[in-house]
Amino acid sequence: MSISKSEARNIAGVLTEALPYIQKFHGTTLVIKYGGNAMVDDRLKQTFAQNIVLLKLVGLNPIIVHGGGPQIGELLDRLNISTRFVNGMRVTDSQTMDVVEMVLGGLVNQDIVSVINTNGGRAVGVTGKDGNLIRARKLSLTRTSPELDVPEIIDIGHVGDVTEVNVDVLCALVKGDFIPVIAPIGVGENGESYNINADLVAGRVAETIGAEKLILLTDTPGILDSEGVTIASLTSSEVRSLIEAGTITDGMLPKTNCALSALKNGVASVQIIDGTVCHALLLELFTDAGVGTKITHG
């Protein structure tokens, strides 16, 4: 079936617009945090996989770090295991940690790998325990209150912080032309497992491997100003000002703190994009308009 001249011009325009971006990012590494609705909506899962395969085919090296909070919560409910959160983090006892490993390292990770490979990619799923990829320690939380003379230490179980990323594992996969898909489970000094925030893992992976970009997929259009309008681009100092002013709050705070750390430690730019938009990755990377917020040094 032939297309009209106007349709042909539009297609040619899109490809021409993408060309300089493809040339600019050819050979570079991107770390992509994958989560939210993009992981559970079938249409978005397919387009995400197609985007990842295309990025690889045009010469970029995507590394995926995924979440899975809703899937963990769903299985815990089915098993009648109660869940509570402290400061937005799931309290993870030994029983809950078993479920986390089952869901993140098994069900979710292998589902992502399967969808990418079905669309022509060569994805390999790993957890942070494979090859000691992500070394971790227990995350320490404290809480202060007027009634206490000293801060209260809160035990949230097997929730971890990243101490080291073994990039040799990732470099071997990338060199072999594979697409790494990482479940954010870390390993402690004595082999114990830790549940780690996926944004945090993505940021530390990007810093350690020297990624050109860190991309965080969210369920929002990006960072919003006080009027609720998406801000297309920000510098690090502007982000700090928005945090101090209370414009950036709640669930966006961990993402922006992750972005600031990544920029401070060598990542060229961070993009927080709307994963509910079909082909969000391609639109953000290869078009002038984009679909989120880009944060750069400054």
**Per-domain boundaries in the chain:** 27-296
Q: Is the pTM of this model over 0.85?
A: yes
The single-letter code of the amino acid at 251 is G
Structure token pair of residue 293: 């917020």
Q: How confident is the model at residue 60 (pLDDT cuts 50, 70, 90)?
A: very high
Q: Residue 97's closest CA among 136, 65, 123, 124? A: 136
In CATH terms, the superfamily for domain 27-296 is Acetylglutamate kinase-like (3.40.1160.10)
Q: What angle do CA 218, 223, 224 make, to 5 degrees?
A: 125
Over residues 110-122, mean pLDDT? 97
Task: Give the strands of the sheet with 292-296, arranged side by side.
Answer: 123-127, 179-183, 61-66, 29-34, 213-218, 269-274, 292-296, 233-235
For 194-217, write each residue's pLDDT tens digit.
999 999 999 999 999 999 999 999
Residues in CB range of 94: below 8 A, 6 or more apart: 157, 158
